[in-house]
Amino acid sequence: MVRRILALGGHEFTSRPPDRAVCELLLRLAAERGGGRPRICILPTASGDTSDQIGSFYAAFGERPCEPSDLSLFRLGRRPVELRDHLLSQDLIYVGGGSMVNLLAVWEAHDIASVLSLAWRRGIVLAGQSAGAMCWFEAGVTKSSGKPLVAAGLGLLSGSLCVHYNNEPERRAAYLDAVAAGMPAGYGLDDYAGLLWEGEGAPSALTARRGARAYRVSTREDAVAESPLPARFLPAPAPAALREDIAEFRRLKTMRKRAGWLG
C-alpha cells in the first residue's frame, strides 16, 4: 500500500488558476486510490471550523466527480459523527490552515492523531496547507501566538517544515535560526508550492504558480543552507463553464463541417 502525503505551503479554494491546479491535483490523488468518485474530507480544525473555509471547500469540489465532506470537531454537539469510521472511509483527508498549536490540541482531545496515522498506513492520502502541512512533520514554525515559534508536529514525516516561506520573511528567518540552533532540518515552501511523498524516499516538488518554489533546508559545516528543488508545474484546468463553452463550440463546428460535406 503506497503511503502518500501532500504538503502545501499555502493556497485557497477559489476559481483562480493556481487554486484550480491544486484542486485538480487533490482530486487526482484521491481518484488514484478511490476510483471514479473518491471520498474527500476536509478537517478545518486549525481555523476553528470556520464556515468560510468549509464553504469554499464545497464550492471547489461540490460539482466535481467526488464525494466531499467535512469533519467539524467544534460542531460535534450539533452534528454527531463516528470520527474514526468517517475518516477511515475516505480516500483523501485534507487539513486546512490556521493555528497549528490549536489544531494539535483539539486533535489530542479527540484522539485524531492516531486515526490519521492509521489512515496513512492504510494508503489514505493525507494532504493540507499551512498548519495542515506542517502538522505531518516532527516540527514547524507556527504563528499561533502572533510571533513565529517552533512547535512540534505529529512526526509522520521526518524533519521540519516552514510554510509561506518567502511570503512571510519573519517566519523564514525564525525557521533558519531554529535549524541553526538544532531543530531538525527540512523544507521551506512558498505559497502555491508543494511536496508530495509517495512511498519511501525523497518527495517530489510541485508548483501551481510561476516563481513559487520549494526548498531543501540543511546544515553544512555549522551553517544553514537553502537549496531550491526542481519542481513540476501544475497546469490549471479550464473552469467548468469555460469547458462547457468549448465543448459546445466544438460540437457546433463539427455540425457545420458535416453540413458542408453533405451540401
Q: How large is the angle between the packed helices 17-34 and 51-61, nearest 10 degrees?
A: 70
Q: How large is the angle between the packed helices 100-110 and 112-121, nearest 10 degrees?
A: 90
The DSSP H or E segment spanning 144 is: none
Instruction: Give the type of residue at 259.
Output: A
The C-alpha atoms of residue 54 and residue 67 are separated, in whole angstroms, by 14
By DSSP bridging, strand 231-233 and strand 67-70 are unpaired
Which residue among the candidates 72, 130, 144, 160 is catalytic per the annotation?
130
What is the largest distance, in Å, between two alpha-carbon atoms of the chain? 80
User: Is-catalytic flag, 89?
Assistant: no
Which residue among the candidates 11, 72, 160, 164 is catalytic per the annotation?
164
Cell numbers at residue 59, please? 464550492
The C-alpha atoms of residue 147 and residue 174 are separated, in whole angstroms, by 9
Cell numbers at residue 208, please? 501551481
User: Is-catalytic flag, 130?
Assistant: yes
Residues 6+ apart with CB under 8 A from 14: 56, 60
Closest to 154 measured CA to CA, from 137, 141, 142:
137
DSSP letters for 26-90 = HHHHHHHHH-SS-EEEEE-GGGTS-HHHHHHHHHHHTTSSSEEEE--GGGTTTS---HHHHHHT-
Paired residues of 41 in beta bridges: 69, 93
Question: Active-site residue numbers?
Answer: 130, 164
